[in-house]
A and B are shown apart, each in its own frame.
Chain A
């Protein structure tokens, strides 16, 4: 059971907009930044979003992040086949004094 809650799966067709949610609590998302990672099959995770809504260099602006209260979300617009991957949210948890991850969301591009 992960501290951060994500839907196990999401899907969309090419060109669509998809949103992945991440729900936490006051000790993690509610008081700290949220990070998002993309893990393509057989590869290491890659940072997709930091400090809630900041994109690292090289990440397309089709990806956007937001946070409100104890929840965060990752939106992918103009869905492409290469976006098919697992997506994880993460945040520091003050109560646990450690980093926590969501269980991951498998995105399928139909």
Chain B
């Protein structure tokens, strides 16, 4: 069974830091690109960033809204991806989803259940 389980969400003050984890199982994690997508309450989906596979040199890309503050990493030995969030702002408050996408065959795009991050004083 495919599973992506996010953890690490919670309440943090503006300017603070938080690190989210995404544990994967049931598929070949190392071959896939890992994305983070967030959704503020009642709002649409916003792409945060991604890290590609080792075959693609673990290349990272970020949305302009988080570039320089957020860092995505992965540990293929642990089948886990991470989202390090620094200098958090109130507008970063959202449910954060990790997604695993493989563009080969068969194509897949799995999503976790999400973890809530609340930035508030």
Contacts and interface: CB of A to CB of B under 8 A. Distances in A.
Interface residues of B, number: 21
Contacts of B111: 44-47
A62 interface: no
Given A44-B113, A99-B35, A56 B45 contact: no
Contacts of A51: 107
A63 interface: no
Contacts of A50: 107, 109
Contact of A97 (B45, B61, B106, B109): B61
Interface residues of A, number: 25
B44 A101 contact: yes
A11 interface: no
A104 interface: yes
Nearest to A100: B47
Given A44-B97, A51-B107, A98 B49 contact: yes
A35 B37 CA distance: 14
Interface of B: 35, 37, 44-47, 49-50, 61-64, 97, 106-109, 111-114
